[in-house]
Structure 1
């Protein structure tokens, strides 16, 4: 990822290719972005860098707003929004290396 935290076109293309085979990790229902949904998104991003979110119960404008809110609250980057599927990316932090004993 670039220093500014924005994905370059090449990075976005590679992430789209990786996301193609993924199943949605989180489903957003008719209630929209509840605290439970946000907790699930956070959990999914902690486990995997790249996730799909299916926003079946939301209108197009609401999906765009939900994508922006999720990215802001979870410090994630939007990769793709096609139909009712949102693809999000958040780089995992580098594991700390153990020092000499």
Structure 2
């Protein structure tokens, strides 16, 4: 059962995008993607709000998330969030099989 967490980072004067760029350029994102159980770690910029960046963060299970939260990586992330004075909202989803009745709406 995969778990996906959507985190929306909001700041001012481009700080959310600067945070995401520093996460990527510092190698932190690459290290997180290499962690056991990580399935996806991607940033997206909102088309509706240039001060918001969305992180889609997916993990194999809760055990993998717990290990990530206990890793030194979380201290790095927390320091950067403070540096850029970001505010967050979080949504959490558990994967489910796509019903056959919805397959016709998905173009692959």
TM-score normalised by structure 1 residue count: 0.31
TM-score normalised by structure 2 residue count: 0.29
Of structures 1 and 2, the one with the larger relative CO (CA 8 A, separation 6+) is 2
Larger radius of gyration: 2
